[in-house]
Amino acid sequence: MSFFIRGKNSVNFKKPEKTLKRKRLVKKNKKGNDDADDLVASKKLKDDDNEEISSESDEERPAQNGNVEPSSDEEEAETAQEKRIRLAKTYLQEIERQERERAESKDIDKEAIGKRIKEDLLEQAGKLRKQIADQFVGYKQEEIKQLRCKEHNSAITSLAISLDGQFLYSASKDCSIVKWNLTEKKKVKSIPGGRKGTEDRHKGHTTSVNGIAVSSDNKFLASGDEIGQILIWDAETLELLKTFRHQAAVTGLVFRRDSHQLYSCSKDRSVKIWSLDEMAFIESLFGHQCGVTSIDALTRERAITSGGRDNSLRIWKIVEESQLIYNGHKGSIDSVKLINEENFLSCGDDGMLCLWGSMKKKPLEVVENAHGVDSENDQPRWISSIASCLNTDLVASGSNDGFLRLWKCGDGFKNLTPLLSIPVVGFVNAICFTPDGSHVIVGIGQEHRLGRWWRIKEARNSILIMPLLKNTEITEAESNKE
């Protein structure tokens, strides 16, 4: 049985939208839509630590699209129809601006705008499906870039990429965090790790950083470590803003898209929800029987988690205060990743790669021994990381077998077929795709991200940026030769 537990200073959002007691911070996202999912604390926080964080008032905070938020009097005078028209115009202006920047021209492609609107609607409904896997026929070996720095002298454990694809954030077992510029392929800033026992003096982590996440607007960066700390940073300056806590090691972090709502999971078997607009704890979710090992979320007010040794995956329907439970693995489920709002991927130490649909309690497809069998013990190779190119049919998995493997999801996401195998030396501890799907980025370590059972001396603790080769590029190259 699951329990949804709120803290003393938590935010109440059980009550219907129409009641005045349910307070919400109305904020415009980049598309111009009202984002009423960033919650406002129900009363003034008594925690002195929370009061140290200064924030702009609602009247002073500008809208994300650059326009000033209307005053309360204006909002009362504005009818619902006028509000919809205003937001639609703002949304169209934003799309026109983005398309103009992409084309680097003053001419606006009306067809491209219409396509964008359709894709946005399908994405919000969880029905967007892009078939891009067949475009990729290889990788550009000569263009693979390796990123290394002195701060990361131990295995990479986690990666997070900004929504615009400009910045990459990496975390390591040596307690450090590094911000990279993907355009220039170089380090921008770093947060060095501290020694264990210096938590009171060091502004950073002093134990292995297990998870890292960045908000959609690239405003906040969150990182979690082995002693249960969640540190909130300014993503631009890497200045420490706030510290939250679990009772045990933090194993995963994710921001809900287009919001500042943060979900975290821990070995203390709980999932916690935080509002970074208020720097406040919202509630705790319980249900897993073992430590939670991974978490992911998209636009909906839902989160999906893997429960490790309890062999379950759970979708937390936060507004409804209920959960869906899925079972299918033979061993520990170590990672889960959403492909879209309806389909997801999971892996674990049983060597199984499972493809799921939210309407089925069992996997739609199971690939056993996805990364082969270890010759030393005749056991399936532990799959250490997975990733998906959001809303497409392209996914990836990594282990210590010497290859990063790309997979194609078949029609209806009912099967998985091998697409590419890219040679990689070491443990593939983290994977992510660039937003356009043109590159896959992997975090490599000499050791597994969860422990030190094996060690590959030949590996280098680093980040690899791998450009993928499209069939159209081969055709263009052949035509140029002719």
Token pair, residue 163, equals 């929504």
Report which of 437, 454, 438 is spatially closest to residue 446, judged by C-alpha positions: 454
Residue 92: pLDDT band with limits 50, 70, 90: confident
- Sign of the CA dihedral running 43, 48, 50, 55: positive
Query: From CA 9, how far away is CA 40, in angstroms rounded?
Result: 11
Instruction: Give the pLDDT confidence score for residue 124 in this predicted structure.
Output: 63
pLDDT, residue 182, reads: 95
CB burial readout 163-175, b (16+ within 10 A) else e? beeebbbbbbbbb
Residue 24 has a pLDDT of 39
Query: Who has greater pLDDT, 262 or 100?
Result: 262
CA-wise closest residue to 193 among 213, 172, 179: 172
User: Residue 49 corresponds to which amino acid?
Assistant: D
- In the sheet where 156-161 sits, what is the strand order? 156-161, 167-172, 177-181, 186-191
- Residue labelled with tokens 């790309």: 406
What Å distances lie between residue 368 and 257, 319, 350, 381, 433, CA to CA? 32, 36, 8, 10, 24
Q: What is the DSSP string of 376-412?
A: TTTEEPP--EEEE-TTBSEEEEE-SSSEEEEEEE-GG
Mean pLDDT lowest for which of 63-77, 234-248, 314-328, 383-397?
63-77
Give me the mean pLDDT over the 103-115 stretch: 61
pLDDT exceeds 70 at position 71:
no
At 70, the pLDDT band (50, 70, 90 cuts) reads: very low
Give me the phi and psi of 429, to 5 degrees please.
-90, -15
Going through 59-163 in order, the beta strands assigned E by DSSP cover 136-139, 145-147, 156-161
Q: Is the pTM of this model over 0.85?
A: no
Q: What is the pLDDT of residue 480?
A: 60
- Where residue 40 falls among pLDDT bands split at 50, 70, 90? very low
Please state, in angstroms and as integers, the Cα–Cα distance from residue 76 to each residue in 72, 83, 426, following that order. 6, 10, 60
Q: Which domains does the chain have, with CATH numbers?
A: 65-124 (no CATH), 133-475 (2.130.10.10)
pLDDT of residue 78: 75
Amino acid of residue 322: S
* CA–CA separation, 428 and 425 (whole Å): 8
Residue 39 pLDDT more than 50? no
- Reply yes or no on whether the pLDDT at 322 is more than 80: yes
**391, amino acid identity:** N
**pLDDT over 90 at 8, yes or no:** no
Return the number of other C-beta atoms located less than 10 Å from residue 214's C-beta: 24
Phi, psi of 344 (to 5 degrees): -150, 165
Residue 482 pLDDT level (bands cut at 50, 70, 90)? low
Per-residue pLDDT for 312 more than 60?
Answer: yes
> Which percentage of the chain shows pLDDT scores above 90?
63
Best-predicted range by mean pLDDT (90-99, 156-165, 472-481):
156-165
Q: Determine the 3-state secondary structure of 299 from DSSP.
A: coil
Per the document, the length of the chain is 482
Q: Is 286 helix (H, G, I), strand (E, B) or coil?
A: strand
Instruction: Look up residue 220 and give its two tokens.
Output: 């906040």
Residue in 261, 187, 221, 334 with CA at minimum distance from that of residue 13: 261
* Residue 313 and residue 293 in contact, taking contact as beta carbons nearer than 8 Å: no
pLDDT at 203 over 60: yes
Calculate the average pLDDT of the chain. 82
With b for 16 or more beta-carbon neighbours within 10 A and e for fewer, the 79-88 pattern comes to eeeeeeeeee
In the prediction, which pLDDT does 316 show? 97
Between these two residues, 305 and 477, which has the higher pLDDT value? Answer: 305
Query: Distance (Å, rounded) from C-alpha 442 to C-alpha 447?
Result: 14
Residue 115, Cα to own-chain centre: how many angstroms? 25
Q: Are 154 and 173 in contact (CB under 8 A)?
A: yes
Query: Tens digit of pLDDT for each residue in 449-469?
Result: 988 888 999 999 999 999 999
Whether the per-residue pLDDT at 446 is higher than 60: the answer is yes
- Average pLDDT of the segment spanning 255-281: 96
**What's phi and psi for 207, nearest 5 deg?**
-135, 170
pLDDT at 477: 58
Q: Is the pLDDT of residue 99 over 90?
A: no
Q: Tokens for 364?
A: 């739609």
pLDDT of residue 46: 39
pLDDT, average across residues 96-107: 63
**pLDDT score at 88:** 78
pLDDT digits (tens, 9 = 90+) for 359-368: 999 999 999 9
| pLDDT tier for residue 241 given thresholds of 50, 70 and 90 | very high
Average pLDDT over every residue of 81-108: 71
Amino acid at 358: S
Query: Alpha-carbon distance 450 to 228, whole Å?
Result: 15
The mean pLDDT of 313-325, rounded to a whole number, is 95
Asked whether 95 and 115 are in contact (CB, 8 A), the reply is no
Q: Which residue has the higher pLDDT, 124 or 254?
A: 254
pLDDT at 52 over 50: no
Tell me, what's the pLDDT at 74? 47
Average pLDDT over residues 52-71: 40
pLDDT score for 304? 97
Residues facing 294 on adjacent strands:
306
